[in-house]
Structure 1
């Protein structure tokens, strides 16, 4: 099934959901340590970035600074779709919320400050409602 490309349909069909748990960004020189199952990895020249459950990072002794809530936009967005990330980032930025976006094959995933994650979901639901009008 092809992903959606129409921005109005993407926004109105976002159906954001807050995944359970606290997630952190950590970095390691080689591979992820045993017992750590990252939900996202990014290999950079400086090391391997891991987005992992906070309790896994703590158990593995991984240092981190940012604790996030993980929001999944349940609309199946096409990787070549234009404007979804910008619209979401703008709505959250207007509320003073940082947002780290990761595109999966089927969905976009947002990592926002944990203590404001539910607020972020509400803002995204309002954005979706406004797009559908």
Structure 2
């Protein structure tokens, strides 16, 4: 199924959904070998970087595994099926949240975009995104 690339349709149809739970960004180092996900940890995002493997995991999983973190986030899924080549969705969402004073870490999945925002302001972020969707022409 092909994703949507029309910015107006993407914005008006994004239907932001706050996923339950608290999520953290952490990293594991392979000590010279490729890094791997610790046992008992189920990441929702992984990113392989030169410095190590970045994981986005439930806060409880990080605590149980003894993984360090600083940033606690709420996870918002934009439920519109966005095309990977679509132009402007990330910029519009980031601008809206920045105007509200919210940081936002964006991860693009094959079907949807996922936003990680400060946990304590996640409901406010959803409200701002819903307002943006209603303003879309």
Instruction: Note the residue ranges of structure 2 that are not aligned, 5 or more in a row.
Output: 30-34
Instruction: Give the CA deviation at 1:95.
Output: 0.7
Q: 2: distance between equivalents of 1:91 and 1:25? A: 23
Looking at structure 2, the residues matched to 15 and 44 of structure 1 have their Cα atoms a distance apart, in angstroms, of: 31
SS in structure 2 of the partner of residue 78 of structure 1: coil
Find the aligned partners of 1:89 and 1:97 in 2 and give their Cα distance: 9
Normalised by the length of structure 1, the TM-score is 0.98
> What does residue 50 of structure 2 align with?
45
Q: Secondary structure at the match of 2:10?
A: helix
Q: CA deviation at 1:101?
A: 0.1
In 1, Cα distance between equivalents of 2:23 and 2:43: 9
1:79 Cα offset (Å): 0.1
Give the alignment partner of residue 63 of structure 1, picking from 61, 68, 87.
Answer: 68
The alignment of Structure 1 onto Structure 2 pairs a total of residues equal to 132
Question: RMSD of the alignment, in Å?
Answer: 0.5
Q: TM-score if structure 2 supplies the norm length?
A: 0.96
Quote the residue 2:17 is aligned against: 17
